[in-house]
Amino acid sequence: MIRRLEAQAAAARALAYAPYSHFAVGAALLGKDGKIYTGCNIENASYPAGNCAERTAVFKAVSEGCREFEALAIAGGPEVGDKLTLCTPCGICRQVLREFCPPEFPIYFSDGQGGFRMMTLSELLPESFGPESL
């Protein structure tokens, strides 16, 4: 299943709208409902209005009624060509994942060496602030 998730993340890159950075990212989020929610980055002429692939996937899932997740895969790299580079989730996406996912939640990201590496959410976002902090 993880290999399938990685493949779907790589495929989702094809839909990235990245005319400013030319860096295309795809994400594939496995819901506990068994569905895979994909996302891509969507940039904007007003740069801060752009959205990352990971948040696109999370927001799609939550807006369709899925709030619990098993794993996430992320594939990123220059939009020209198939080469994937190192692509860990940005800080904002880590925080958005923190809202819905447990500390041990596995995040697979392209490692820039032809494969994927896994880190847990708590490794990527230690000592974090979440729903139970309020």
Binding site for ligand THU (CB under 6 A): 18, 21, 23, 25, 41, 43, 50, 52-54, 74, 76, 87, 89-90
Q: Which is nearer to ligand THU, 65 or 91 (CB)?
A: 91
Residue numbers annotated as active site = 54
What's the CA dihedral at 131, 120, 12, 91 to 10 degrees?
60
Q: Which is nearer to ligand THU, 38 or 132 (CB)?
A: 38
Residue from 62, 58, 52 nearest 16 by CA:
52
**3-class secondary structure per residue, 80-104:** CCCCCEECCCCHHHHHHHHHHCCCC
Single-letter residue type at 28: A
Q: How far is the CB of 132 from ligand THU (least distance, A)?
A: 25
Please give the backbone phi and psi of residue 29, each rounded to the nearest 5 degrees, phi first: -115, 120
Q: How far is the CB of 87 from ligand THU (least distance, A)?
A: 5
Q: How far is the CB of 20 from ligand THU (least distance, A)?
A: 7
Q: What is the rounded CA–CA span in Å between residue 28 and residue 133?
A: 28
